[in-house]
Amino acid sequence: MTNFKPLHEQIAEKLIAELKAGTSVFQKAWIDESNPGFVIPANPTTGKNYRGLNALWLGMQPFSDPRWLTMRQANLNQWQVQKGAKATLINFVQHTDRKPLLDEEGKALKDENGKTRYTETKLEKPILANAWVFNAEQINGIPDLSLVKAEKLAAQQWSPIERAEAILNATNPNFKHGGNYAFYNYVTDQITLPHRHQFPTATEYYATALHELGHWTGHQSRLDRELSNGFGAPDYAREELRAEIASLMIGSEIGIGHYFEQHAVYVEEWINVLQDDPSELQKAAADAQKIYDFVLDIEQKIELKQQAEQKPESKFLIKGDEISYNNTSYRVNEILKGKQVKIEDMNSGEQIRLSHSDGLYKSLLVAKNYPLLAPEVKVDNSKALVIQQEAESDSFKIKR
């Protein structure tokens, strides 16, 4: 008999304790862009944010650096995990199974570098897997966070307020200004906010607007969540938890911040909901991630459509192209003879050789010219030569 609790229960218990103490991720003050209460945790080797409950969980850890990665990823970059450092457990859903390619005698096939070749197949049912990650503060040799922040700031094209305004313009909800309360009415599909001058700062106005925009996504014509419950009902508190987590994530992403004071009244109800059902936090975080994706996808599609109208189409993939497609990213590493290219799946490390006539080549070309606007294309990868590289993480256990 083991006393080990599922990760979502551990996270719920920790959040309940922090809500009671007033130290939760929601209650930490956002002072300025250089000292936020919450920054979405990200993997510096993949460049991707952690998602859903993992993002919330890693943000609850006692570190000020938002970067997290596996020991394997650190070693590949010649960084070293500090002796005695304790890893943090996260969960992820595994959709594919990887097996070595075998010859007629049952021996593993090798590539030109002597590494075993693998094939990857889609699982009938996804598997919940565990991974162990370390914070950048536990790793020697990793670039200083201040340098990373400086690079990000230099690349930033819009101010947080400009970005928030762009999101509201892109989503285009029905706004009404007036009164002293901020709320979303699902019957009229309308967001009501006090006038801008009633807020102490412009950032508080936009942070509140983005919170209500989170509720707006729940309309039946969008993400279709249950929104008909009145104030004080458990389902009302559940919806507020979803909008709160989403606004925390969106506020971090665009740098506008997060202002808990607007929603502090729900703390006791959140505690009651989580005590009754610890799995509710996992569900809320998953829905919050959907809200985040929905809102930012609208913004990105409009921006990329504008760029696509001005940018001439590329007729070929070229060396160095990095393209996001079908929930992963691909990089063109080599241009080969015979109108072929060698690309790398940057998530798994696999390399694929494609010709211009292959479905994946055509799909990547569409995604290159029209990011996030490219239609889903069924790809025939039967001609692709897959060369196995070592898995991204060497320290995970699969739970079936």
pTM above 0.95, yes or no: no
What is the three-class DSSP state of 169? helix
Average pLDDT over residues 103-121: 77
Q: Is there a contact between 200 and 229 (Cβ–Cβ < 8 Å)? A: no
Q: Tokens 């320290």 belong to which residue?
A: 395
Q: Work out the pLDDT band at 308, boundaries 50, 70, 90.
A: low
Going by C-beta distance under 8 Å and a sequence separation of 6 or more, which residues neighbour residue 265? Answer: none
pLDDT tens-digit series, residues 234-264: 789 999 999 999 999 999 999 888 878 767 8
Residue 39 carries which side chain, given as an amino acid letter? Answer: V
What are the DSSP calls for 188-233, one per residue? Answer: TTEEEE--GGGSSSHHHHHHHHHHHHHHHTTSTTTT-----PPTTS
Residue 104 confidence (pLDDT):
82
The pLDDT of residue 9 is above 80: yes
Q: Is 248 exposed, middle or buried (0-12, 13-18, 19+ CB in 10 A)?
A: buried
User: What distances in angstroms separate CA 329 from CA 159, 208, 343, one per listed residue?
Assistant: 27, 34, 10
| Backbone dihedral angles phi then psi of residue 58, each to the nearest 5 degrees | -65, -35
Going from N- to C-terminal start, the domains of the chain cover 160-304, 322-393
* Other Cβ atoms within 10 Å of 99 Cβ, number: 9
Between residues 67 and 347, the one the model is more confident about: 67
Return the H-helix or E-strand segment holding 185.
strand 183-185
Count of all residues that appear for the chain in the document: 400
Q: Tell whether the torsion through CA atoms of 205, 206, 210 and 216 is positive or negative.
A: positive
How far from chain centre, in Å, is Cα 106? 40
Q: Minimum mean pLDDT among 21-35, 328-342, 344-358: which range?
A: 21-35
Cα–Cα nearest to 215, from 239, 196, 249, 236: 239
- In eight-state DSSP terms, residue 126 is E
SS3 helix, strand, coil % of the chain, rounded to 5? 40, 20, 40
Confidence of residue 192 (pLDDT cuts 50, 70, 90): very high
- Please tell me the distance from the alpha carbon of residue 284 to that of residue 55, in angstroms, as a whole number: 12
Closest to 399 measured CA to CA, from 128, 133, 53:
128
Q: What is the pLDDT of residues 126-135, one digit of tens each?
A: 888 899 999 9
Mean per-residue pLDDT over the chain, rounded: 84
Over residues 168-180, mean pLDDT: 94
